């Protein structure tokens, strides 16, 4: 009796992996320009009221969440000579370029006058400004989805090797974190303000112009990076069976128990999105007093090294934990059952998030001293570690669910299931936007009040104590208490997760054997 021929799963090349990761980094820079920068731009640069902003973001995200499975169905039905994901990655980035710039091409809802009060645009202009904000943001979400679902879905088609797939998903999460450059958009834009001040514009309108210019430049660079993914990737996992209808795909998403558990868990974790939504506003106001250039320089024109180091520590805290965790978590998941690790991150992640607000209150609202800055940075690091680990595990476990569905029903729903990941992110952002808008409206951090605040800060007011410190307290509350509650709730659906690692390994081995037998390799 002859020996069975060894099965060597086909996988991606180093060049292909590099191109994919560069593209993913570019795509996530674009995401963060909108996810973090647009919130600040709407509320603190063109002064759209907080409730209007939160409703716009929530409605758009809920629609995106509904739209994502539809787009996933379209991807799964796509059959071309390149595959089902690659065509979108080649042709969609230029469309996203245009839709990313459009939300910034808006008018001013309000602006401070010479007396320190605020001037509202005419009613017709205000209605048009809100309408433009809503339509352009919804359009961005729809076009971004067309590129996002194939970008993540293609990871389960690039390789038949489970370890290589875990590697690409882990690296993808790390390179997605490079999208923090998009978060820096909020800080970069004011540096261009002088160009427009020199042309005679007032402070408010020149800042708006600087943000538009920065959005155009940064989005163009990011789009070029995004194109590398489409030009590089190749799909190696063959598609079996007829693609499902859209109705069948929705039924599949809900019927697949492990996927359903991840979906519910992700939605319950929605408030974690507040960290990215509020972070730039918090840093710009609390640490820079909304005057980046003035805060970073001393009276003699030199750099304020102390504040620069403190802000760097804070950013290492907010982003460093996520980056390190993205790299470490796959190794931990190879030694610890994934569902156990997922629940540990969820439950223990509640503690550092709660500590953020507690430390703020204990400090008396002053975190600018060295001990407090170091302490809050460490706590942010631990919190973001839990968040980063959950992001990696969610992607890997969704990819496992694709194998689960192929094994049990003969069809790989890559597009639909990774649309579920996008669904989680976008619905979560919508829920988080409503929470943010409600809290900001409650304390009065909204519309013309922010225009007056900005003018007061220019004239020497201190944000940490402005309005009795209630604006600052609201921001620290938002990045602490709701995320902690969400982390605790997210563990409930996955405590009895329906697929063990051993069960998935058995399924994948059988699937690979079947594929290679059909190709005549064994």
Model pLDDT, residue 1:
40
Q: What is the pLDDT of residues 300-314, one digit of tens each?
A: 777 888 888 988 898
Domains of the chain: which residue ranges? 14-233+242-255+267-516
Name the pLDDT band for 374 (thresholds 50, 70, 90): very high
Contacts of residue 169, defined as CB under 8 A and 6 or more positions apart, other chains included, come to 155, 330, 392, 395, 396, 399
Model pLDDT, residue 121:
94
Distance CA(448)–CA(119), nearest Å, equals 8
Model pLDDT, residue 420:
78
- pLDDT surpassing 80 at residue 2: no
Distance CA(324)–CA(300), nearest Å, equals 38
Mean pLDDT of the chain: 88
Model pLDDT, residue 4:
46
Pick 241 or 284 by higher pLDDT. Answer: 284
- The count of other CB atoms within 10 Å of the CB of residue 353 is 30
Residue 517 phi/psi, 5° resolution?
A: -65, -40
Mean local confidence (pLDDT), 123-140:
96
Least confident of 47-51, 69-73, 81-85, 310-314: 69-73
- 458-485 in b/e form (b: 16+ CB < 10 A) is eeebebbebbebebbbbbbbbbbbbbbb
Name the pLDDT band for 5 (thresholds 50, 70, 90): very low
Q: What is the pLDDT of residues 411-454, one digit of tens each?
A: 888 777 877 777 788 788 889 989 999 999 999 999 989 999 99
Model pLDDT, residue 308:
86
- The count of other CB atoms within 10 Å of the CB of residue 496 is 10
Q: What is the pLDDT of residues 471-495, one digit of tens each?
A: 999 999 999 999 999 999 999 999 9
Distance CA(89)–CA(20), nearest Å, equals 10
Q: Which residues pair with 120 in a beta bridge?
A: 110
Can you give the three-state secondary structure of 211-258, one letter per residue?
A: HHHHHHHHHHHHHHHHHHHHHHCCCCCCCCCCCCCHHHHHHHHHHCHH
Q: Are 385 and 351 in contact (CB under 8 A)?
A: no
Distance CA(145)–CA(249), nearest Å, equals 17
CATH architecture group of domain 14-233+242-255+267-516:
Up-down Bundle (1.20)
Q: Which residues pair with 80 in a beta bridge?
A: 83
Q: Are 522 and 513 in contact (CB under 8 A)?
A: yes
What string of DSSP letters covers 460-483? T--TTTGGGGHHHHHHHHHTTHHH
Pick 32 or 352 by higher pLDDT. Answer: 352
């Amino acid at each position: 009796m002859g020996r069975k021929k060894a099965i060597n799963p086909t996988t991606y090349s180093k060049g292909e992996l590099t191109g994919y990761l560069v593209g993913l980094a570019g795509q996530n820079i674009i995401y963060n320009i909108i996810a973090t920068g647009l919130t600040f731009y709407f509320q603190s640069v063109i002064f759209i009221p907080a409730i209007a902003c939160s409703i716009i973001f929530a409605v758009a995200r809920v629609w995106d969440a509904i739209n994502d499975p539809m787009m996933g169905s379209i991807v799964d039905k796509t059959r071309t000579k390149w595959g089902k994901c690659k065509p979108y990655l080649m042709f969609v980035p230029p469309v996203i370029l245009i839709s990313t710039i459009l939300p910034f091409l808006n008018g001013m809802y309000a602006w401070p006058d010479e007396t320190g009060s605020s001037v509202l645009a005419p009613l017709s202009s205000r209605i048009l400004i809100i309408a433009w904000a809503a339509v352009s943001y919804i359009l961005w979400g729809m076009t971004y989805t067309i590129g996002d679902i194939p970008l993540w879905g293609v990871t389960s088609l690039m390789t038949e090797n489970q370890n290589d797939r875990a590697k690409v998903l882990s690296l993808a999460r790390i390179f997605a974190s490079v999208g923090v450059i998009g978060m820096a958009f909020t800080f970069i834009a004011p540096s261009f303000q002088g160009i427009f001040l020199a042309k005679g514009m007032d402070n408010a309108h020149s800042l708006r112009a600087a943000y538009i210019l920065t959005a155009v430049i940064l989005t163009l660079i990011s789009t070029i990076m995004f194109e590398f993914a489409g030009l590089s990737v190749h799909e190696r996992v063959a598609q079996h069976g007829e693609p499902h209808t859209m109705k069948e795909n929705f039924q599949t998403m809900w019927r697949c128990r492990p996927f359903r558990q991840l979906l519910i868990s992700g939605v319950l974790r929605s408030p974690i999105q507040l960290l990215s939504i509020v972070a730039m506003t918090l840093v710009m106001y609390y640490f820079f007093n909304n005057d980046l250039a003035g805060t970073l320089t001393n009276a003699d024109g030199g750099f304020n090294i102390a504040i620069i180091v403190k802000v760097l520590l804070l950013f290492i805290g907010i982003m460093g934990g996520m980056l390190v965790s993205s790299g470490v978590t796959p190794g931990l998941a190879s030694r610890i059952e994934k569902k156990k690790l997922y629940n540990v991150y969820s439950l223990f992640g509640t503690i550092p998030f709660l500590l953020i607000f507690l430390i703020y209150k204990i400090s008396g609202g002053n975190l600018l001293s060295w001990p407090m800055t170091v302490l809050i940075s460490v706590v942010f690091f631990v919190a973001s570690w839990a968040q980063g680990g959950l992001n990696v595990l969610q992607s890997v476990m969704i990819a496992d669910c694709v194998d689960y569905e192929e094994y049990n029903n003969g069809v790989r729903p890559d597009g639909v299931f990774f649309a579920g990941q996008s669904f989680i992110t976008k619905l979560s952002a919508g829920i988080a936007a409503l929470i943010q808008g409600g809290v900001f409206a409650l304390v009065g951090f909204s519309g013309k009040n922010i225009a007056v605040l900005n003018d007061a800060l220019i004239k020497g007011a201190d944000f940490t104590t402005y309005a009795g410190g209630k604006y600052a307290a609201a921001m620290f509350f938002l990045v602490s208490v709701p995320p902690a509650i969400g982390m605790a709730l997210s563990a409930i659906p996955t405590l009895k997760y329906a697929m063990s690692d051993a069960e998935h390994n058995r399924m994948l081995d059988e699937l690979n054997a079947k594929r290679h037998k059909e190709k005549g390799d064994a």
